[in-house]
Amino acid sequence: MASKLKKYFPIIREKEEVLAEIKKSRVLQEKFDKWTEEQREEFLNLCTGVKGLKLLYDGFFKEIMNPEYVPERLNDFLSHMLCQKVRVLKVLPADSVRIADESSLLIMDIVVELEDGSIANLEVQKVGYLFPGQRSACYSADLLLRQYKRVRGETGEKKKFSYRDIKSVYTIVFFEKSPKEFHDYPKECYHFFEQKSNTGLEIELLQKYLFIPLDIFRGNRHNVDIRVKRDAWLTLFSSDDPDAIIELIEKYPEFRQMYEEAYGICLNMERVMDMFSKELYELDKNTTQYMIDELQGTIDKQRQEIDEIKEEHAKTIDEMREEYTKAIGEMREENTRAIDEMREEHAKERNEIQKQGIRNTVKILRAEEVSEQKIRTRICKQYQISEEQVREFLD
């Protein structure tokens, strides 16, 4: 595929040149062969201009945006991101405590001090964290504490330390693949956060955040012209589409030099292959970690659901046991009542049968002209009743 970008950047090499240089080095060839077919194709497209460079690669970004060599670029970039004039005074060492260092999805991190003493931290994440707010708050707090220690250490006998010397801390996070919460706002690409009161009372609480979902920005860029400088900066760092890059450098020629410098890095085959390998490794590691976090989140949710089901089942079993015990008790009461009624009815029937038997016996004996005394005696003996009871049947 022909490179549209080669017209603008003659420094770009042809595919055959790149492959020939790789073949010259056994180490480079072995590294190239270890990549998948898709990864090899992606690397060649990058080097030959079939696709634009991904300038958020750590190696590219820190080279073309180095605040020590080209501070005006970072000044302009931050000014448009924060919508206020920014001048970087110095770069601070990134020696803060890394939040979850081994599992970080972070691929770029620059901490700078601004003209008014504020701290700005730029992060780029390949894959959004499951809880970006929590992590960013922790990192912002860490930066604020670093500033406090630094300012307190710089104050001496001539100047007493004051908390008013502590300036705002900006945490700016670019997501190449943003968390799902951001996709609830598909038209928004700049999410600025700061603490505010519910009453309107204004107190400077220092910690501020800017989240920029680059994937959503790319989705909104289709068939839309670059209208403002802020969008131009995001196009620079988010798009590898040659047409978008050409539109960008024609409208903002100052970005052309940045691409020139990045393509200059590509001339050093060992360096650019190391950079690409590192990106592949980080992407694989970060995606794996993201999947682990997602899986852990699913496991935790399922465990909670299981616990809720167990609790519900235990409650249901207790209710069933209670109902069963109650039903058994009611059945026993009903059965006892029925048996008592049957016994009573049976006793009545037996008594009536006995009475009828006595009457019949009396009739028979009288027909045989047996004396009343003998009848009484015989009835008492035969039916086991008293003479008082027999009198009822003789009257």
Q: What are the tens digits of pLDDT across the range 163-174?
A: 888 888 888 888
| pLDDT on residue 293 | 66
| pLDDT on residue 364 | 84
Provide the 8-state DSSP code for 110.
E
Task: Phi first, then psi: give them for residue 244, nearest 5 degrees.
Answer: -65, -40
Do 175 and 182 touch, CB atoms closer than 8 A?
A: yes
| pLDDT on residue 102 | 36
* Cα gap 121→276, rounded to integer Å: 24
Q: How far is CA 191 from CA 137, 178, 180, 187, 367, in A?
A: 15, 12, 14, 11, 120
Do 250 and 256 touch, CB atoms closer than 8 A?
A: no
* Cα gap 190→91, rounded to integer Å: 25
Q: What are the tens digits of pLDDT across the range 349-362?
A: 888 888 888 788 88
Higher pLDDT, 147 or 296: 147
- Evaluate if residue 155 carries a pLDDT over 50: yes
Q: Give the CA dihedral 152, 158, 160, 162, nearest 10 degrees.
A: -70
Nearest alpha carbon to residue 237 among 77, 90, 39? 77
- Evaluate if residue 233 carries a pLDDT over 90: yes
Q: Name 76's Cβ contacts closer than 8 Å, sequence gap at least 6.
A: 229, 233
- Evaluate if residue 195 carries a pLDDT over 70: yes
| pLDDT on residue 174 | 85
Neighbours of 271 (CB within 10 A): 12
Least confident of 273-287, 327-341, 364-378: 273-287
Q: Give the CA dihedral 258, 4, 233, 268, nearest 10 degrees.
A: -30
Identify the top-confidence range among 103-117, 245-259, 295-309, 352-366.
245-259
Q: What is the mean pLDDT of residues 39-60?
A: 85
Q: Give, to the nearest 10 degrees, the angle between helix 269-367 and helix 26-34.
A: 20
- Evaluate if residue 99 carries a pLDDT over 60: no
| pLDDT on residue 370 | 81
- Evaluate if residue 109 carries a pLDDT over 70: no
- Evaluate if residue 256 carries a pLDDT over 80: yes
Higher pLDDT, 376 or 21: 21
| pLDDT on residue 330 | 85
Q: What are the tens digits of pLDDT across the range 70-91?
A: 889 988 998 898 888 888 877 7
| pLDDT on residue 255 | 93
pLDDT band at 97 (very low <50, low <70, confident <90, very high): very low
Q: What are the tens digits of pLDDT across the range 277-310?
A: 777 766 655 565 666 666 666 777 778 878 888 8
Mean pLDDT score of the chain: 82
**The Cα angle at residue 108 between residues 264 and 21, in degrees rounded to 5:** 30
Higher pLDDT, 215 or 297: 215
- In the chain, what's the furthest Cα-to-Cα distance? 151
- Evaluate if residue 101 carries a pLDDT over 50: no
| pLDDT on residue 125 | 67
* Cα gap 383→377, rounded to integer Å: 10
pLDDT band at 253 (very low <50, low <70, confident <90, very high): very high
Do 91 and 112 touch, CB atoms closer than 8 A?
A: yes
Residue with tokens 């059945």: 331
